Amino acid sequence: MTQTQDSIKHWGDMPPEEFHQHARSISAWIAEYLERIASEEPSRVPRVLPNVQPNFLQEKLPASPPMLGEKVEDILRDFENIIVPNTTQWNNPNFHAYFSISASSIGILAEFLIAALNNNSMVWKSGQAATELERLVLSWLAEALGLPRELWGMIFDTASVSTMQALACARERSGFHVRERGLAGRGGDVPQMRVYASELVHSSIDKACITLGLGAENCIKIPVNERLQMQTEALEQAIKRDKEAGYLPIVVVGVVGTTSAGSSDNIHELVAVCERESIWLHVDAAWAGPAAMLEEWRDRFHGWERADSIVINPHKWLFVPIDLSVLYCRTPEVLKEAFSLVPEYLKTTEDGQVENMMDYGIQLGRRFRSLKLWFVMRYFGVEGIKARLREHIALAQLFANLVNDHPDFECTAPVEFALVCFRYKPQHVANGDEVTLERINADLEERINTQGQIFLVHTKLHNVYTLRFAVGNLYTSEAHIRRAFDHILKNT
């Protein structure tokens, strides 16, 4: 219902008393929503994947904006009736696609406060506590991860952007003054620069090459071994071949916890190659990074403290609401060389004594993201976080055991961290009939996702069509895992 002309003001914001009333009803709504998705009673839990067709929204909402302001109650009613049931529920414990994540309650509360302060920490003077809290909380995180406390870090929105920044650093360090002179039309005085990563690397690396003008074809994919790790020898050969042909190798990307399979490259071997060749080593631990807190998983990270840069996404497996990605970099001065540009209106009297975060990246404006990481680390504590990560890893192992104990299922890769790669392989299908196996697994995935009680996606490993089951939501329990496996069985 549209409000009448005289009931709305044409200036100013909602009165604070009215804000209080709506904030109460919204917090009640959120609590009820969380209570439902966390419910042990499956019939109370909403679908994780909605039953919705493309362009559904056009029929439900007006094409033009309201000319007069509307009531909060009406806006919220449409949110509840049109938005919520028609969007994928990432906070639902039955979400096992991509990487399963959680916006913890403490993180949700922090987001509320971040919006209220509306801080923009472009420079220290425009966000003093935000700038300094970012430094503090990233040294907390480094310490918890077993990295040096002094390791310099910076918060971005996503791993894609963090990685792009790291590659920009490496491009700057190559000494060809790309920042000033660009790459195009230089009459051959700049060699083609090359970036190396395993064939399982995330597409964000290719996108960084595209964005930075390095060219997607200069992102060289190195084959993996049977443990799905980059073959170090093949990497060394590719670098040698490229150097002989006149290319300039600038970056190797090593992954801890690949997106497809959770596998990890042999980081200490990559460190040795990169140190010998003076190549920038970027470690992509966007998802698995928090597991470095667990002593029993530290070997996967062995050597990463010697990498030039590391990316970790606390919005993936550290219970921080999306978005928050951390880039650690051993040489922030190179980031500064690549990006610092200070127009007159951004000069401040403190410039000599403080860190102005705008100097280290492409963005000027920045949200107060460190607040939510600080809240989350304080609320759970490092031990609390570790216990939860271990629980997710144990639940993934439980799922893998159910798969392995069933004659018609198999795991298609070693179980790493909290990710299980598996497939349906009924005994009646002949060994090696990959065409049939791909079809029945694709059909199974489609049937499951159409029903929407659980959500799964697939990948291909060595060309084998594979379903993925990721665990990482704070509400996921043993009962969810057992029900999920039964549900998959029922759909075969």
Ligand X SMILES: *Cc1c(COP(=O)(O)O)cnc(C)c1O
Exactly one of 229, 313, 453, 466 binds ligand X (CB under 6 A); that residue is 313
Q: Please give the residues from 239 up to 258 whose contact with ligand X meets the rule CB under 6 A.
A: 255, 257
C-alpha span between 204 and 259 (Å, rounded) = 11
Q: Please give the residues from 97 up to 136 whose contact with ligand X meets the rule CB under 6 A.
A: none
Exactly one of 160, 198, 218, 231 binds ligand X (CB under 6 A); that residue is 160
Exactly one of 121, 231, 325, 476 binds ligand X (CB under 6 A); that residue is 325
CB 236 within 8 A of CB 396: no
Amino acid in the structure at residue 31: A
C-alpha span between 27 and 22 (Å, rounded) = 8
Query: Considering beta carbons, is residue 269 or 284 the nearer one to ligand X?
Result: 284
Query: Considering beta carbons, is residue 131 or 259 the nearer one to ligand X?
Result: 259
Query: Considering beta carbons, is residue 93 or 257 the nearer one to ligand X?
Result: 257
Q: How far apart are the two ends of the chain, measured CA to CA in Å?
A: 48
Rounded to a whole number of angstroms, the minimum distance from the CB of residue 202 to ligand X is 3
Which residues does 419 contact at the CB level (< 8 Å), separation at least 6? 99, 257, 261, 262, 396, 468, 469, 470, 471
Rounded to a whole number of angstroms, the minimum distance from the CB of residue 111 to ligand X is 17
Query: Considering beta carbons, is residue 425 or 458 the nearer one to ligand X?
Result: 458
C-alpha span between 455 and 92 (Å, rounded) = 10
Which residues does 215 contact at the CB level (< 8 Å), separation at least 6? 192, 209
The span of 47-55, 78-86, 156-164, 436-444 binding ligand X (CB under 6 A) equals 156-164
C-alpha span between 281 and 251 (Å, rounded) = 6
CB 438 within 8 A of CB 412: no
Buried b (16+ CB within 10 A) or exposed e, 286-316: bbbbbbbbbeebeebbebbbbbbbbbbbbbb
Task: Using CB atoms within 10 Å of the CB of residue 131, give its burial: 0 to 12 exposed, 13 to 18 middle, 19+ buried.
Answer: buried
- Check binding of 366 to ligand X (CB under 6 A): no
- Check binding of 259 to ligand X (CB under 6 A): yes
The span of 152-160, 273-281, 301-309, 435-443 binding ligand X (CB under 6 A) equals 152-160
Rounded to a whole number of angstroms, the minimum distance from the CB of residue 149 to ligand X is 25
CB 108 within 8 A of CB 30: yes
Judged by CB under 6 A, the number of residues near ligand X is 13
The span of 281-289, 297-305, 328-336, 421-429 binding ligand X (CB under 6 A) equals 281-289
Using alpha carbons only, give the angle 327, 333, 338 rounded to the nearest 5 degrees: 80
Rounded to a whole number of angstroms, the minimum distance from the CB of residue 175 to ligand X is 28
Query: Considering beta carbons, is residue 257 or 361 the nearer one to ligand X?
Result: 257
C-alpha span between 286 and 201 (Å, rounded) = 11
Which residues does 260 contact at the CB level (< 8 Å), separation at least 6? 200, 228, 421, 459, 460, 461, 466, 468
- Check binding of 284 to ligand X (CB under 6 A): yes
Exactly one of 49, 166, 214, 286 binds ligand X (CB under 6 A); that residue is 286
Using alpha carbons only, give the angle 207, 211, 216 rounded to the nearest 5 degrees: 55
- Check binding of 287 to ligand X (CB under 6 A): yes
Query: Considering beta carbons, is residue 37 or 255 the nearer one to ligand X?
Result: 255
Exactly one of 202, 300, 366, 372 binds ligand X (CB under 6 A); that residue is 202
Q: Which two tokens stand for residue 92?
A: 């639902």
Rounded to a whole number of angstroms, the minimum distance from the CB of residue 34 to ligand X is 24
Rounded to a whole number of angstroms, the minimum distance from the CB of residue 283 to ligand X is 10
Exactly one of 105, 139, 158, 436 binds ligand X (CB under 6 A); that residue is 158
Query: Considering beta carbons, is residue 211 or 348 the nearer one to ligand X?
Result: 211
Rounded to a whole number of angstroms, the minimum distance from the CB of residue 483 to ligand X is 26
The span of 155-163, 191-199, 357-365, 434-442 binding ligand X (CB under 6 A) equals 155-163
Query: Considering beta carbons, is residue 204 or 473 the nearer one to ligand X?
Result: 204
Helix or strand run (H / E) with residue 219: strand 219-222
Helix or strand run (H / E) with residue 37: helix 16-37
The span of 231-239, 270-278, 282-290, 297-305 binding ligand X (CB under 6 A) equals 282-290
Rounded to a whole number of angstroms, the minimum distance from the CB of residue 156 to ligand X is 9
C-alpha span between 317 and 391 (Å, rounded) = 12
DSSP SS3 for 62: coil
- Site residues (CB under 6 A) for ligand X? 158-160, 202, 204, 255, 257, 259, 284, 286-287, 313, 325
